[in-house]
Amino acid sequence: MTPFHLIPAGLLTGEAADRAVAAGEACWLAGERLAFTTVTQLSRAKDGSGRRAAMSLQAAKETAAAQLAALSAPRRPWAGFDLARPLIMGIINVTPDSFSDGGDNADAATAIRFGEQLLEAGADILDIGGESTRPGSQPVSPQEEIARVAPVIRALAEKGAAVSVDTRHAAVMEAAIAAGARIINDVTALTGDPDSQMVAAKSGADLVLMHMQGEPQTMQHDPHYADATLDLMDYFTERLETLRQLGVGANKVSLDPGIGFGKNDRHNMRLMEELAVFHAFGCAITLGVSRKSFIGRFSRKEPPKQRVAGSLAAGLAGIARGVQILRVHDVAETYQAIVIWQAVSA
């Protein structure tokens, strides 16, 4: 187990980043879009909790050169996409009960039209799910899930869309790949079905592995971590090693910290603040904060569809920490926000 992790800090963009890197005062973060000038050393105390201590970049170069190299290395293409710019993953819930848009696209024809609209609005990827995993949701049989998503996946893939299937069931993964999906997005990080790891590995699909503590029905009932960031680092270390043994490299994987999945607001904010630490794995990072309930709790308890502004703010906070993929409901608004952020940060 790694004795400590480095959390990049003092992040810079644009010409300031170029100058600092050229002067040896900063390192690139996951490529050449952002740079960091200092780090926080994160390690475990004897009781399992986290200890954080400021560390200069020079000290990190002397004691953790391999970690710095991993944090700085450009990401290889994922799912056929160049990760030099942020990607937008548009959400299509073919369900009657998803937390923010349940029923909006519950039939195939409506979902297909909605997918076409998301592509026109700027979506790079369409993430199609047939089972709600909101807190307290009830499971759906794989057969019902396949009936919901397969026609939508097939129609949109035939139109040339890059399609992701949002599922935790191996049978649904197989059916989705056969229908044209090229990405598997699993909220259980391929642990929810004993067959899913092998199915995913054999499929050749690119993967999104999300962290979730517990099950959707109970995950928000007093979630607990010794240290949220460290616990997720350990979790993803194990997941990636298991996949490596199955022949799946880190370049095929995107990691999602699972904001709001078995986490309270304190855990969520800690992970949002320290997102850059996950670049040490060499994987793309996916962030799903769109319309999440924490936005309403911090604001004025707005219902999901009135959390667009908070969703954009949280998404841009992720991009400012090097996140490569935003999973969102509001594609047009996200596209506009990213374009302006890039223009200001150039």
Active site residues: 292, 327
CB 5 within 8 A of CB 233: yes
Distances (CA, A) of 152 to 147, 149, 258, 292, 341: 9, 5, 25, 25, 32
Backbone angles phi, psi at 130, to 5 degrees: -120, 10
Residues 6+ apart with CB under 8 A from 139: 131, 216
Q: C-alpha 188: how far from its chain's center? A: 13
Residues linked to residue 90 through DSSP beta bridges, in sequence order: 126, 328
Two tokens at 204? 């050749």
- Within 13 A of 295's CA, how many CA atoms are on the CB side? 21
CB 92 within 8 A of CB 117: no
CA distance 143 to 138: 15
CA distance 177 to 183: 8
- Supply angle C-alpha 313, 315, 320, rounded to 5: 95
CA distance 156 to 112: 7
Backbone angles phi, psi at 207, to 5 degrees: -130, 145
Binning the chain into helix, strand and coil, the percentages to the nearest 5 are: 40, 20, 40
**Sign of the four-CA dihedral 295, 300, 342, 160:** positive
What's the first-to-final CA gap in the chain, in angstroms?
A: 38
Neighbour-count burial of 303, counting CB atoms closer than 10 A to its CB (0-12 exposed, 13-18 middle, 19+ buried): exposed
